[in-house]
Amino acid sequence: MTREQLFHQIMTKRSFLCVGLDTDIKKLPEHLKSLPAQEAIFTFNKAIIDATAPYCIAYKPNLAFYECFGVEGYAAFEHTCRYIRENYPDQFIIADAKRGDIGNTSQLYARSFFEHLDVDAVTVAPYMGEDSVKPFLGYEGKWVICLALTSNKGSHDFQLCTVDGTEQRLFERVLTTAQTWGTPDQMMFVVGATQGQLFEDIRKVAPESFLLVPGIGAQGGSLQEVVKYGMNSQCGLIVNSSRAIIYADGTENFAAVAAQKAKEVADEMSECLKALD
């Protein structure tokens, strides 16, 4: 998917919501818990996807929730990606994998996600530098989403260090350096929504890039603040919500409630998008 196509999707659906498919088997409704893991996970995901697809433009399964069931979990992950691709071809699929390795190995990860699974984007950790990220950039229409400033407490440990005797912090160095590897048409950045005030700093060094914002909802970020500081002329934001949508209800009615929650977020986003009409 190109940046223009993504922007078109956002303006058509009046939403820049990404639903995080962090499918934790312990949190599934009771009637699904008795199923084998692979079936439970996929059945839950399918119901969530079918219910929320009108209100979001992206899905983001986090690999950890699948890998912890080994082969069965991995199969559920693949099945989920294929289901979205076949039934909702306009949805942007983000494999939240936070991968990154030496060049030849990152190449294999890229092949896995972009050829084998055909997802649109993969999250990548920048610590190992250019050759760990570049192999993911060799696929037309596919995206790297590079960690810059994450939403967790530990983000303070290294990401906020200033570097090389300047005022520049590590996450800003990552933003500026990574933009020499790939353009805003092939690379986005993860920016945690709990870091509202820092969005302004980020837009100074990455004005055009799309930002994937993971911290709305359960992680505590405010949509209004993210939009105020982070939105650009092509929206430039994909805002993720996982738990607040997919676990909003623990009964057999979970999918309908998830849809309602997704719609509420989309309605708020629709208001924000009026600025771009």
Catalytic positions are 98
Integer Cα distance of 277 and 268 in angstroms: 15
Of the two residues 188 and 272, which places its CB atom closer to a second copy in the complex?
188
Least CB distance to a second copy at residue 145 (A):
13
∠ CA 113-156-136 to the nearest 5 degrees? Answer: 20
| Residue 29: other Cβ atoms inside 10 A | 17
Least CB distance to a second copy at residue 131 (A):
4
Integer Cα distance of 113 and 94 in angstroms: 10
Contact pick of 19, 47, 174, 262 for a second copy (by CB under 8 A): 174
Of the two residues 82 and 228, which places its CB atom closer to a second copy in the complex?
82
Contact track, a second copy, 126-165, x by CB under 8 A: xxxxxxxx-------------x--xxxxxxxxxx-xxxxx
Least CB distance to a second copy at residue 78 (A):
6
Number of residues that bind a second copy (CB under 8 A): 57
| Residue 152: other Cβ atoms inside 10 A | 13
- Residue positions counted in the chain: 277
SS3 category, 100: coil
- 245 binding a second copy? (CB under 8 A): no
Which residues in 177-196 contact a second copy (CB under 8 A)? 177
46-70: burial string, b at 16+ Cβ within 10 Å, e else: bbbbebbbebbbbbbbbbebbeebe
Contact track, a second copy, 83-102, x by CB under 8 A: -------------x-xxxxx
Classify 221 in phi/psi space as left (phi over 0), alpha (psi -120 to 50) or beta. Answer: beta
Exposure of 184 in the CB half-sphere (CA atoms within 13 A):
20
Integer Cα distance of 100 and 245 in angstroms: 29
Contact track, a second copy, 102-131, x by CB under 8 A: xx-xx-xx-xx---xx-------xxxxxxx
- 49 binding a second copy? (CB under 8 A): no
Q: Footprint of a second copy on this chain (CB under 8 A)?
A: 22, 24, 62, 64-65, 67-71, 74-75, 78, 96, 98-103, 105-106, 108-109, 111-112, 116-117, 125-133, 147, 150-159, 161-165, 170, 173-174, 177
